Amino acid sequence: AQKITQTQPGMFVQEKEAVTLDCTYDTSDQSYGLFWYKQPSSGEMIFLIYQGSYDEQNATEGRYSLNFQKARKSANLVISASQLGDSAMYFCAMRGGHHNQGGKLIFGQGTELSVKP
């Protein structure tokens, strides 16, 4: 069975500092994709970054980078130079390969990030 685990229910970070949000996963698929989404209090899901299981380089998108360690089955999100607007819920998600019919996403429990001024 596929599973995504986020062990940090809440995190605090000082403005302008970097923060790492943890995500581990479990799957028997060889091909899979890992995603990070941001959900502010208004509710919309904002796509941040994607990492494919066969990608050799860690994904980066602006201030977001994904620390992908395949052997450890971890896909941590690093946010550099935190801003007050980064305060939100962050979800890690996985899309499996052929075992996952329809390409559905499985979400972790989420981490609530609070950026302090």
Partner 1 sequence: GAVVSQHPSWVICKSGTSVKIECRSLDFQATTMFWYRQFPKQSLMLMATSNEGSKATYEQGVEKDKFLINHASLTLSTLTVTSAHPEDSSFYICSARGSSNNQPQHFGDGTRLSIL
Strands (E), 31-70: 33-39, 46-52, 60-61, 64-69
CB of 16 to partner 1, least distance (A): 27
CB of 79 to partner 1, least distance (A): 20
Answer whether 107's CB lies under 8 Å from 91's CB. Answer: yes
Residues β-bridged to residue 68 = 75
10 vs 17, beta carbon nearer partner 1: 10
What is the biggest distance separating any 2 CA atoms in the chain, rounded to whole angstroms?
45
Q: Using CB under 8 A as the criterion, which residues of the chain lie in contact with partner 1 when the complex forms? A: 33, 35, 37, 42-45, 47, 50, 89, 91, 95, 100-110, 112
Who contacts 54 (Cβ-Cβ below 8 Å, separation ≥6)? 31
31 vs 67, beta carbon nearer partner 1: 31
Of 98, 117, 116, 106, give the one whose Cα is nearest residue 37.
106
| Total number of residues shown for the chain | 117
CB of 54 to partner 1, least distance (A): 12
71 vs 101, beta carbon nearer partner 1: 101
CB of 15 to partner 1, least distance (A): 24
68 vs 91, beta carbon nearer partner 1: 91
